[in-house]
C-alpha cells in the first residue's frame, strides 16, 4: 500500500526536487502540492494525504504553526534550510527533519522511516508485533514490555529480558501501543501500566529501572496508573 504524500513549500524549486524524489520511491505517491500552508489545511482535513513533507519558514503561516493548528495532524517530515528548529520540531513528534539541500540518500532514509511507521500501524491486532533491529525482524510481546524510551532518531524498547533499539519515531510506537495498557509519563518515556512496581516522587520504578515523570504529564499519568486501586483511610 502506497503512502500518499503532500508537499507544502513556498519554493517552486524545492517542490520540484521533492516531487522528483517521490517519483523514484515506489512506495511513495504524490497526493498534491501547496505553496501556502493555510491552503493545505482543507486537504489535510479531508485526509487527502498520509504524510506531509512540510517546509518551516513560509509566508503567512509557518510549518510549525500549521502543525500546531491541526487537532490530529498526519505524520510530518520537515524540509527546511534552517537547523534552528530541530529540537522544537522533535518535541512535536515529527518523523524526520531534513536540511536543504536534501540529498536523495538522506531523503530515502526518511522515506524508509515513514514506511516503518506505517507498517507498524498496519500490523493486525495480536499480543505481539515486530520491529526491525539491524538486519533482523524482532518479535516483541506486549506483556514483555517494561517501558519505551526516545533516543533522538531512535527508540529503545526495554523488555523483561532485553533492550531493543529500532529506527522508529517515538510517536510511531506511542500511536501503536494500546492505551489501555501503556501510559506516556514523560516526553521521552512510555510505561507499561502492569509493570510499574512503585512510585517515588517524580519517578516510576519498573524492575531494576527508574524512569522520570514530567511535571506536565504527572497528574494525568498518576490518574491512569492508580485508577481505583489506591487504598487509603
Q: Mind giving me the DSSP string for 66-88?
A: HHHH-SSPPPEEEEES-GGGHHH
The position carrying cell 518515556 is 189
**pLDDT interval class at 123 (50, 70, 90):** low
- Report the alpha-carbon distance of residue 77 to residue 26 in Å, rounded: 18
* Residue pLDDT, tens place only, 208-229: 999 999 999 999 999 999 987 7
Task: Look at phi and psi of residue 60 and say left if phi exceeds 0, alpha if psi is from -120 to 50, else beta.
Answer: left
* Strand pairing class (145-151; 189-192): antiparallel
DSSP-assigned beta bridge partners for residue 212: 203
Residue-wise DSSP of 152-201: TTEEEEEESS-EEEES--HHHHHHHS-TTTEEEEETTEEEEGGG--EEET
pLDDT band for position 1 (cuts 50, 70, 90) = confident
pLDDT tens, position by position, 141-170: 999 999 999 987 789 999 999 999 998 888
pLDDT confidence of 135, banded at 50, 70, 90? confident
Angle between helices 104-122 and 12-23 (to 10 degrees): 60
Amino acid at each position: 500500500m502506497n503512502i500518499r504524500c503532500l508537499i507544502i513549500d513556498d519554493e517552486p524549486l524545492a517542490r520540484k526536487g521533492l516531487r522528483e524524489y517521490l517519483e523514484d520511491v515506489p512506495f511513495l505517491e504524490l497526493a498534491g502540492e501547496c505553496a501556502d500552508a493555510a491552503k493545505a489545511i482543507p486537504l489535510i482535513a479531508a485526509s487527502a494525504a498520509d504524510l506531509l513533507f512540510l517546509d518551516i519558514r513560509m509566508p503567512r503561516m509557518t510549518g510549525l504553526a500549521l502543525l500546531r493548528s491541526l487537532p490530529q495532524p498526519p505524520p510530518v517530515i520537515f524540509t527546511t534550510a534552517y537547523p534552528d528548529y530541530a529540537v522544537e520540531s522533535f518535541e512535536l513528534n515529527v518523523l524526520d527533519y531534513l536540511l536543504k539541500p536534501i540529498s536523495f540518500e538522506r531523503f530515502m532514509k526518511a522515506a524508509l522511516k515513514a514506511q516503518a511507521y506505517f507498517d507498524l500501524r498496519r500490523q493486525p491486532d495480536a499480543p505481539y508485533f515486530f520491529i526491525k533491529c539491524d538486519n533482523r525482524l524482532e518479535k516483541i510481546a506486549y506483556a514483555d514490555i517494561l517501558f519505551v524510551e526516545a533516543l533522538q532518531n531512535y527508540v529503545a524498547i526495554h523488555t523483561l529480558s532485553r533492550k531493543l533499539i529500532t529506527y522508529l519515531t517515538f510517536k510511531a510506537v506511542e500511536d501503536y501501543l494500546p492505551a489501555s495498557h501503556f501510559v506516556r509519563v514523560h516526553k521521552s518515556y512510555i510505561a507499561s501500566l502492569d509493570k510499574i512496581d512503585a512510585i517515588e516522587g517524580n519517578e516510576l520504578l519498573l524492575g531494576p529501572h527508574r524512569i522520570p515523570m514530567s511535571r506536565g504529564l504527572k497528574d494525568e499519568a498518576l490518574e491512569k496508573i492508580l485508577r481505583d486501586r489506591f487504598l487509603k483511610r
